[in-house]
Amino acid sequence: MTTRRAAIVGVAESDVGKTPHLTVLSQQALAAQAALAEAGLTRDSVDVLFTAGAWSWAPTMTLAEYLGLQLTYTDSTNIGGSSFEAHAGHAAAAIEAGLIDVALITYGSTQRTSRSRNSPRPAELTAQFERPYGMPMPVGAYALAAMRHMHDYGTTSEDLAQVAVAARQWARLNPRAYYRDPITVEDVLASEMICEPLHKLDCCPVTDGGGAVVIAAEDRWPDVATQPVKILGHAETHTHDTIASMPDLTVTGAAQTGPAALRMADVTVDDIDVAEIYDSFTITVLLTLESLGFCKPGEARDFIAGGRIAPGGEFPLNTSGGGLSYTHPGMYGIFLLIEAVRQLRGDFAWPRQVPDAELALVHGTGGVLSSAATVILGTV
């Protein structure tokens, strides 16, 4: 049977960083307009809108109305920061099934400007066993995972800091990055302790920002203005919601979605040219690399050592500067897709551009290591 393939044909960000001139809706509208324009597709070609956020009880309905979209398919998946990787998978599946031709994925947040991130929510339903203890969220949950990983494998704060240092080196090559001053391992260790063992520079900043991704069925590729970046594999899961229900704090759902997505794409981790892996915190990257199978459990510290994930290294990772240095408006996952597409199209100049990148692994993590979604993208 011939599979009807899907590809990302347009990507764009809205303004990122601090955007008091934008709303959560205008961010997504401007990004959507730019991504569709890049693809050479019209607003009226869109069959389905994906978005995620807590700014409406039904975000896809609110935003579709704002954009003037009339849709033939709907999906309101919200699994936190990895929602957009799941959306890409759902779009590819709907295209394969012949249900849609064009999908639009957007995200927007004004959490920096509105300072909405830490407004209290009631301690009800399953949260009644968590919120009354006052653990800062989500950083506290990631700190619990980091502490356990250190206990089990001897991972150190210096190992974690290497992730932040490499991200900042990439961010220095990205004019849009929120933080661009160089940092050292010592700077990370000297930054304020937030939740042991995580320092301030182990944590992503709180920024505003939005983005958009346009996905089209292969029948439309001859009409688009960009080089289509094919969705070769995708997989998703969630393993828990509250951190107490995570079976093993050192293994994420990536252990399931990584192998599944690679299998669908018929490639292995050794084939991957560039990786965009959710880095809400430094520990997120180490756990995800291990769970995806790039290295064995406990060996991520060695895998990233010696500048392997920094610009010019053997394993280009988070080439925009990542959530740690580029931008992190609450749910970062859409920016992973945007960066991977640009790398595979060869949009950049060296050293930001990964030479001859043909295959990318994109992995989103949401909640408190709760959800995982992997997408394999390629131009081959």
Partner 1 sequence: MKPVPDADTKPYWDGIADGELRLQRCEACGQAVFYPRAVCPHCFGRPLRWFTAAGTGQVYSYTVAHRAYGEFADQAPFTVALVDLDEGVRMLTRIVGAGSDGIAIGARVQMTVEQIGDADLPCFRPAEGPHTPQEAPEPAK
Which residues are known catalytic residues? 278, 326
The owner of tokens 């280009």 is 316
Question: C-alpha 16: how far from its chain's center?
Answer: 15
Query: What's the token pair of residue 354?
Result: 């990964």
Selected from 125, 270, 314, 349, the binder of partner 1 by CB under 8 A is 125
CA atoms within 13 A on the CB side of 354: 27
How many Cβ atoms are within 10 Å of 151's Cβ, its own excluded?
Answer: 11
Selected from 9, 143, 204, 344, the binder of partner 1 by CB under 8 A is 143
The alpha-helical segments, DSSP class H, found in the chain are: 24-39, 59-67, 83-96, 111-114, 139-153, 157-171, 185-190, 254-265, 282-292, 300-304, 333-345
List b or e across 64-76, with b for residues whose CB sees 16 or more CB atoms inside 10 angstroms. Answer: beebebebeeebe
Cβ nearer to partner 1, comparing 97 with 244: 244
Kindly indicate which of the ranges 49-57, 82-90, 193-201, 319-327 contains the residues binding partner 1, using the contact rule CB under 8 A.
193-201
Q: Tell which positions 259-318 bind partner 1, by CB under 8 A.
A: none
Selected from 195, 217, 275, 310, the binder of partner 1 by CB under 8 A is 195
Kindly indicate which of the ranges 26-34, 132-140, 220-228, 276-284 contains the residues binding partner 1, using the contact rule CB under 8 A.
132-140
What CA–CA distances, in Å, run from 272 to 10, 68, 141, 262, 311? 22, 39, 30, 10, 16
Query: What's the token pair of residue 137?
Result: 């969220």
CB of 205 to partner 1, least distance (A): 15
- Say whether the peptide bond before residue 316 is cis (omega within 30 degrees of 0): no
CB of 69 to partner 1, least distance (A): 37
Cβ nearer to partner 1, comparing 122 with 222: 122
Kindly indicate which of the ranges 43-51, 53-61, 140-148, 283-291 contains the residues binding partner 1, using the contact rule CB under 8 A.
140-148
What CA–CA distances, in Å, run from 62 to 28, 90, 111, 315? 12, 20, 18, 40
Q: Tell which positions 228-267 bind partner 1, by CB under 8 A.
A: 242-245, 247, 249
CB of 192 to partner 1, least distance (A): 7
116 φ/ψ angles, rounded to the nearest 5 degrees: -95, 0
CB of 328 to partner 1, least distance (A): 17
Write each residue from 315 to 354 as x if it is in contact with partner 1 (CB under 8 A), else as -, in one continuous string.
----------------------------------------
Kindly indicate which of the ranges 53-61, 157-165, 194-202, 225-233 contains the residues binding partner 1, using the contact rule CB under 8 A.
194-202
The DSSP line for 10-27 is EEEE---B--TT--HHHH
How many Cβ atoms are within 10 Å of 103's Cβ, its own excluded?
Answer: 27
Q: Applying CB under 8 A, what is the total number of residues that bind partner 1?
A: 36
For position 120 contacting partner 1 by CB under 8 A, the verdict is yes
Kindly indicate which of the ranges 94-102, 114-122, 267-275, 300-308 contains the residues binding partner 1, using the contact rule CB under 8 A.
114-122
Question: C-alpha 28: how far from its chain's center?
Answer: 16
CB of 137 to partner 1, least distance (A): 9
Write each residue from 41 to 80 as x if it is in contact with partner 1 (CB under 8 A), else as -, in one continuous string.
----------------------------------------
Whole-angstrom distance, CA of residue 209 vs CA of residue 250:
30
Q: Which residues bind partner 1 (CB under 8 A)?
A: 118, 120, 122-126, 128-136, 140, 143-145, 147-148, 151, 192-198, 242-245, 247, 249
